[in-house]
Every structure is written in structure tokens, then in C-alpha cells.
Amino acid sequence: LQSRGCISKKNGEGMYKHGENLKLLDEGSIFIADSVVIGKDVTIYERNRIEGNTVIGDGAVILPGNYIVDTVIGRNTTFNQSQSEGASVGDGVYVGPFARLRPGAKILDGAKIGNFVEIKNATVGEGTKVSHLAYVGDADLGGGCNIGCGAIFVNYDGKSKHRTTVGDNCFIGSNCNIIAPVTIENNSYIVAGTTVTDRVLEDDFVIGRVRAERKPGRAHKYLKHFINPKE
């Protein structure tokens, strides 16, 4: 198998640099650097660029449109239209579409990193799901957690970076702000829209919202500023 000059071959120890049963779909649109090591039964689709000290485990599937550099990818893991640099990804992980793994990202077995999620210098525990529109920076997440849409781990105060620790089996709802440095212990539940600034203890249920205030009959005052409002 060949892709732009990079050929499957054995090294001096008898290991395949590009393993058995490697499938390259549309080879002309794939770039694989000579430094990359690929296991057996791997499938790489069109429009992928794989560089640096990247290692791809057995049975992995690299769907179209990824940029992967200096990343270790585990067995039976799938990448879908995403970028990864300096990351470590375990077995049975799904990444993407449109995810970004930055240096220091460590994704453990069975986790899910979904669309428009960015992970930087953080560990995502086994089976934890960060499914969409979230930023996890300078954090350690336990296993079995759910991180909701729009959740932000606020790691930077304008001067220094700070770290967050989240235990196992925690639920962090949509649109939460987790202000580091802070610890959230095991089996905690953070309600959507909550800003967390203090330690959350095990089995805590945390809610912090500004109550909505309803003003009857006032909407027309503001709607009149629209162009061509509906009668």
C-alpha cells in the first residue's frame, strides 16, 4: 500500500510500520508521514493528513477530513473530521465531527468527544461524554460523566491558568461555567445554567440561576423597533 510516497514496510524489529490489512480509500488525497506507525485492520478514508509521531491502533477508523499530528490513537477508535495535536486517545473512543484535541489532551477508553468540543491539557475519563459545544481546559474529568452542551471550564483569570478536578459519575448540565480552581466530587449533579465557584461535595445537587422576571404586556414596547413587525 502506498500513499504519496509512504509505503508499508517492516522496521528492524519486524514490526509493521503500516500494519496488515491497512485500507486507504482515495490514496491520492491522503498524506501519511514516514514517522507514523499504524496497526492492523485500520481504515483511512479520503482527505486525511497524518504527521509526526502518530501511532494508530488496530481496528481504528479515520473518516474523511482529519488533521492528526503527534497523537496516539487506541484500538477501534474513530476520528471524524477533527484535529488532534499532541493528544493521547484510548480504545473505543469516538472523536468528532469538528472536535479539536490540543496538546496534553488525554481521552480514556470509551469516551466520546463530539462536535465543536475543544480539549486542552485535560484528561477525560473512561466512558465520559462531552458531546457538543464545550471547552474543557486544564481539567481532570473522572469516568462516567456527562458534560452538557455549552459547558465551559473557565481556566484563565487573565493572569494565570487554573485547574479543575471532576470526580466519577458527575452530571454537568448545559451552559454551566466551572470557574477554576475548583473540585467537583463524585456523583454530583450540576443543574444547567449554573456557575460553580466553590467546592462541590459528593452527592451534592447544585443550582445557581437568576430567576426570570415576567413583565406582562410590555413586549410591544421593544418589538416596535423591529423593521416591518408582524401585525
* 229 domain-assigned: no
* 192 domain-assigned: yes
Catalytic residue among 18, 132, 162, 225: 132
* 230 domain-assigned: no
Known catalytic residue at 132: yes
* 231 domain-assigned: no
* 90 domain-assigned: yes
* 164 domain-assigned: yes
The tens place of each residue's pLDDT in the chain, 231 residues long, gives 344 434 443 333 333 367 788 999 988 898 998 889 999 999 999 999 999 999 999 999 999 999 999 999 999 999 999 999 999 999 999 999 999 999 999 999 999 999 999 999 999 999 999 999 999 999 999 999 999 999 999 999 999 999 999 999 999 999 999 999 999 999 999 999 999 999 999 999 999 988 888 999 888 887 777 656 555
Count Cβ neighbours within 10 Å for each residue of 164-186 and write b for 16 or more, e otherwise: bbbbbbbbbbebbbbbbebbbbb
* 171 domain-assigned: yes
Provide the residue range defining the domain that includes 76. Answer: 2-223
Q: Residue 56: which CATH number?
A: 2.160.10.10
The number of folded domains in the chain is 1
